[in-house]
Amino acid sequence: MKANLAEVFESIQGEGLLIGTRQVFVRFSGCNLQCNFCDTVASRHLSSSCLIYLQPCSKHKVRPIKNPISSQQLLQVISDFTAPWISFTGGEPLLASDYLSKVAQQTHSMQRKNLLETNATLPEELDMCLPYLDMISIDFKLPSATGKDLWDQHKRFLVRSSAKSCYVKVVITPETRREEVDQAVQIISSVSKDIPLILQPVTASMDDDRADIDTILNYQTRAARTLTNVRVLPQIHSCLGIP
């Protein structure tokens, strides 16, 4: 069984509930969305080789491996790193759910912990991977970012994910509308008010507009009236200047 991967590296988790922990990141190539704030644009498309970064928290020492990569090849690469958590990210990992399930089963048996970072649009594909996941980072994609209404997929995905430790992340951009955040809160509360919600200000370049912090704090205040755990967290790996 093979899949197209973009890169594998060890670094600090910069987002979500596991922020600051060391993880091995397995980035899948290919995505079913085109979000306007995407910070891994290259991973939207299939690549001819997967880049293995040998030095933690750095992209200076690299070894390319020709795509597609077998599950056995990937497991060997992962075994060369020592971080306890494996983050399956993308792109969208669930586009290769068969492959992901097989690898996650093996890393689980290796006493590693598995984190899935997903755009939460493929609920049926989650089912085969769910037994081997320790945490799910669910990225609700707002209509202002995608041009699509994905609420039904997100709710069905969250219902399935709630059997595991999970949280919902919403990236806040200058285009984000209050009613979108309110809709995300409503969906979360309909499943469980205790599912954490993370409001993540978009990581902007010097030339881009940033989301207004007062607006984000207002979103947090409104969400906290319904949910028990609402946090505002930026991407810390960008702040630290590491991958």
Question: At a CB cut-off of 8 Å and minimum separation 6, what does 35 contact?
Answer: 119, 141, 145, 146, 171
pLDDT tens track for 76-127 = 999 999 999 999 999 999 999 999 999 999 999 999 999 999 999 999 999 9
Place of tokens 């991407």: 235
Q: CB-based contacts of 66: which residues, under 8 Å, 6+ apart?
A: 48, 49, 50
Q: How far apart are CA 104 and CA 101, in angstroms?
A: 5
Q: Which of 193, 213, 214, 210 is nearest to 202 (CA)?
A: 210
Alpha helices in the chain, H assignment, sequence order: 71-79, 97-109, 123-126, 143-146, 151-161, 178-191, 213-224, 236-240
Give the C-alpha separation, 123 to 168, whole Å. 15
Q: From 225, 174, 166, 175, select the one nearest 198 (Cα to Cα).
A: 166
pTM of the model: 0.94
- Taking only the tens place, the pLDDT of each residue in 149-204 is 999 999 999 999 999 999 999 999 999 999 999 999 999 999 999 999 999 998 86
C-alpha span between 187 and 91 (Å, rounded): 24
